[in-house]
Structure formats: structure tokens, C-alpha cells
Amino acid sequence: MLKDNLHKVQTRIAEALARRTETKLTGTEATLVAVTKNHPVDVVLESLALGITNIGENRVQEAKEKRTVVPDRGVWHLIGHLQTNKARQAVALFDLIESVDSQRLLAALDKAALQQGKVQDILLQLNIAREEQKTGFLLEDYQAVVPTLDSYPNLRVRGLMVIAPLCDDIEATRPVFKEGYRCFCELKKLRPEIELLSMGMTHDFTVAVEEGANIVRVGTALFGKRDYTKK
């Protein structure tokens, strides 16, 4: 079941990569992050056994429980909003924090990373469609934060993360992903070392990859619908 789903998702990623035209700066491959949030830890173990290495979780507490069972395998991505008071735990748990969305959080993560003797990899999350219910930097706030990034020596900014609005017509997400890629290119001019552009989830990852994503975060297409009635 998971094996079949994984094969289908990987095929669709490969086909989308083949349809790519102009997005040279993000390379020729895309990394699949398996989003295991709200699924039991068995799902993480099953994913690792099938060769998936990147695991996405959106809550610190849930990731902590899973990492007690799987302490030393996987590359763990935090993809959900992080409160500053959980920065310390997030630095201890995650390899890549994709959802950095405020100056305060940058400062808190930098301090936590210093205390833990770690250089923390992060992405800056953009709220391109200005959705009120979503987090992420608005573009003007992002523009203001870019010149300050060197003041966080314990953070390594590796790129950008974008969530597109949920639309029935996935073509409606394309302009959002195009803008994400444009922001990525602009940032790369200033910081040539950046390389990651995380865009796309189950319903829109093919469009995101066509528009330059090199990380996709997929849950439902791999594991089925999440059951939010449990816990």
C-alpha cells in the first residue's frame, strides 16, 4: 500500500521534473519529505524501511514522542508554526526547521542553537498569498528581514518554504509557486549558498515541481487521510 503510493508519488515527481522548463537554479531533482503528522510512529518506521529518509512533522510534542522511538534515523523537518517558547526543543529535535516566520523566532532559534552548540539549518516561510489564517512572512516583512540574516551566526539559512492556498483548481496555485521561485532567485543573488525551495503538498506538488520546487512535503498521497478524531 505505502510502497505503491510511494512509487506513484515518485513517478509524478519525475514526470513534473521532466516538464520543467526554466527553473534552472533549483537543480534537476526534488526531495520527497514524507509528512507523518497525526500518524503513529509505525508510519515513520515503515517509511524509513522503504528508503524514505526525510520525515516531516508539524508539532514539536508529536515529533518528540516519535524521536524517542526513532532517535537516530531520518532527516527531520519541522513544517508547522513554531512558538518561540518551543525554539529550544525544536533545535534539539529537527535537522531542518522549514517554518521560520518571524524575527522573534529567528532570534530565539539563534540563541537556542548557540546554547546547544549546533548550527541550525532553517528555511524562511513565505505567505505569498497573504492568507490571514496562515503563518509565514508577508513579502514586505521578508524583504525587511533579509538584510538582518547575518546577525544570526548560529543559523544557516538554506532557502525558502511556501504553502499555496488550497484551491479546487490547482492551476490557481501556479502564480504562487512562480512567485516563490522568483523570491528564491532574488535571495540567491544575495546569498549564493542557498539551495532549497520547499513548495507543494499532496494536491499541488506537481505544479510546485514544475515551477522549481526541490523539496515537496507529501502526507495524504502516501499515507491516506489523517484521522483527527484520534488524540
Ligand X SMILES: *Cc1c(COP(=O)(O)O)cnc(C)c1O
Per CB under 6 A, residues contacting ligand X are: 35, 37, 58, 79-80, 163, 201-202, 217-221
Is the Cβ of residue 91 or residue 161 nearer to ligand X in the bound state? 161
With a CB cutoff of 8 Å and minimum separation 6, the contacts of 28 are 17
Minimum distance of ligand X from residue 160's CB (angstroms)? 13
Is the Cβ of residue 37 or residue 67 nearer to ligand X in the bound state? 37
Residues 171, 184: contact at Cβ < 8 Å?
no
Is the Cβ of residue 32 or residue 106 nearer to ligand X in the bound state? 32
In this chain, which residue has its C-beta nearest to ligand X?
A: 219
Minimum distance of ligand X from residue 58's CB (angstroms)? 5
Cα 138 to Cα 58, 180, 185: the distances in Å are 20, 12, 17
Half-sphere exposure of 164 (CA within 13 A, CB side): 32
Is the Cβ of residue 26 or residue 36 nearer to ligand X in the bound state? 36
Phi and psi of 77, rounded to 5°? -110, 130
In one letter, which amino acid is 57? Answer: E
Minimum distance of ligand X from residue 217's CB (angstroms)? 4
Residues 200, 161: contact at Cβ < 8 Å?
no
Is the Cβ of residue 193 or residue 222 nearer to ligand X in the bound state? 222
Minimum distance of ligand X from residue 183's CB (angstroms)? 17
Minimum distance of ligand X from residue 228's CB (angstroms)? 11
Measured in whole angstroms, the distance separating CA 71 from the mean position of its chain's CA atoms is: 21
Measured in whole angstroms, the distance separating CA 156 from the mean position of its chain's CA atoms is: 15
